[in-house]
Amino acid sequence: MRRMKRNIITICALIVLAGYSASGQQIVESIVAVVGNEVIYLSDIEGQVVQLKAERDPTPVDELRCRIFEDQLVQKLFLDQARIDSIEVSPETVEADLNSRLTDYIRRAGSEQALENYFNKSMAEIRKDLREMLTNQYIVQETQGTIAQNITVTPDEIKKYYNSIPKDSLPLVPRKVQLSMISVEPPDMEESKAEVRQRLLDLRSRIINGESFSTLAILYSEDPGTAPKGGELGYTTRGELAKPYAEAAWSLKKDAVSKIVETEFGFHIIQLIDRKGDMVNSRHILMKPKLSAEQTEWAILKLDSIADLVRGDSISFARAAMWFSSDKATRANGGRMVKENPVDRVTWLTLDELPREINLVVRNMRTGEISEPFRTTDSKGNSVYCIVKLDDEVAPHRVNLKDDYNYLSEAALRNKQSKIYEEWITEKIRKTYIRISDEFRGCTFHYSGWFE
């Protein structure tokens, strides 16, 4: 026989596959497949179906159930191989990801109670299920990595991959630009900051005297993300907040209102709503100092003089950025803008990836041109004035070998790895003991051989 029974777990599973125990009692937690030493429960399949349908997945239920089931079968093949190869993952890695995701889920749900109600499970059960899911994901990734660890693509393979794609099916690449910027911070902002502090002090007094923090946040807060919700941030950890804000929030008693707190985003007053474990739910009113007419004029004149120096070849744009720019994110790069995640160090940006004000200016610029001074918003939401230089650009085009070699190299590698995985899965199905409940025999699967 091609497939042999491996151990007692397989024998027990075969009994449960039919949905009944030896005594004839129906088993609630029905096993619908055995893959090597791994099992798949019907509840796992049905739970995912319910969740995807709640997220408005348009796939018919029967088709969706079959797709989820095969995905589970494939995952179990990798997990079975990981057991054979003694592949494990660090519990610390899983816990860090688990805590991060749980924090995000609680914040989106609004509270731990709301999350428990959504899943109809306790937090302990949610944590247990999520830990198991993440552990399996990491193990599958590690196993796939061992299968494709030495896979590379040659220039000839990249060319063949490119030529295999019908020309009218090649993806369109939007216009991409490389930009440098210089922004300046006007002097004498203390007067503007003092005005903001006084406005917040007035609001704080009104709240202490009985007015609603939420109502005043809706009316006056300059945080567009939280103002419509009465200033409420939802449950957050310390690491998710600016340090001064976190220190103030964690020092408050429930319903207490903080003194004025200054962060890189502006000035806040904060009210503690609730505390759960290492998370707090707070609301705030944010206000930002405004540039006066004199400060605006100073910024424009300053940027004009810098642009004139660069245009007159008295100084390069990069050196001017290092000397004069107030933007810390780009100053060290000679003003060169990078993608939002600076770790990537990607300097080619599509227009859609630019702040709206910069997008509107750059779309009409020519390569090498320096813009006139204009107002925009920095990464903290503060208004600044800046000039930008269009260093280089690539016109909209279909992917080609000359302009998009790196993109095609990565795509060709993914395609080759995908074929390796397909071959591995097909061979693994042939060699692995697999037993599947008859209720899934009507499914049309991507891979053949599941029932052989």
Question: Once rounded to an integer, what is the mean pLDDT over residues 383-405?
Answer: 92
Residues 109/114/115/118 CA torsion (nearest 10 deg): -100
Looking at residues 313-329, what average pLDDT do you find? 93
The distance between the two most distant Cα atoms of the chain, rounded to a whole number of Å, is 93
pLDDT at 28 over 90: no
Q: H-helix or E-strand containing 167?
A: none
**The pTM is what?**
0.64
Task: Name the token pair of 268.
Answer: 């806040």
Domains defined along the chain, listed by start: 8-151+416-440 (1.10.4030.10), 176-188+292-395 (3.10.50.40), 190-287 (3.10.50.40)
Task: For residue 115, report the phi and psi dihedrals to the nearest 5 degrees.
Answer: -70, -40
> Directed axis angle between helix 190-208 and helix 213-220, to 10°?
150
The strand order across the sheet containing 434-436 reads: 38-41, 31-35, 434-436
The separation between CA 61 and the C-alpha centre of its own chain, rounded to angstroms, equals 28
Q: How sure is the predictor about 21, in pLDDT bands with cuts at 50, 70 and 90?
A: very low
pLDDT band at 391 (very low <50, low <70, confident <90, very high): very high
440 pLDDT exceeds 60?
A: yes
60 and 48 Cβ atoms separated by less than 8 Å: no
- Does the pLDDT value for residue 198 go beyond 60? yes
Residue 371 β-bridge partners: none
What gap in Å lies between CA 215 and CA 348, rounded to an integer? 43
pLDDT above 90 for 148: no
Q: What is the pLDDT of residue 305?
A: 96
Residue range 250-288, pLDDT digits in tens: 999 999 999 999 998 899 999 999 888 778 899 999 999
pLDDT band at 109 (very low <50, low <70, confident <90, very high): confident
pLDDT band at 341 (very low <50, low <70, confident <90, very high): low
Please provide the DSSP assignment of 121-158 as one string. S-HHHHHHHHHHHHHHHHHHHHHHHHHSTT----HHHH
The per-residue pLDDT for 210 is 94
Higher-pLDDT residue of 191, 125: 125
Look at residues 423, 431, 429, 448 and name the one whose alpha carbon lies nearest to residue 148.
423
How many angstroms separate the CA atoms of 399 and 450, rounded?
A: 38
DSSP designation for 236:
E
Residue 404, pLDDT > 80, answer: yes
Chain centroid, CA 328 distance in Å: 24
Between helix 112-119 and helix 91-109 the angle, nearest 10°, is 100
Question: Which H, E and C letters describe 174-210, residue by residue?
Answer: CCEEEEEEEEECCCCCHHHHHHHHHHHHHHHHHHHCC
**23 vs 361, which has greater pLDDT?**
361
Mean pLDDT of 105-116: 80
- State residue 110's pLDDT score: 73
φ and ψ at 321, to 5 degrees? -65, -45
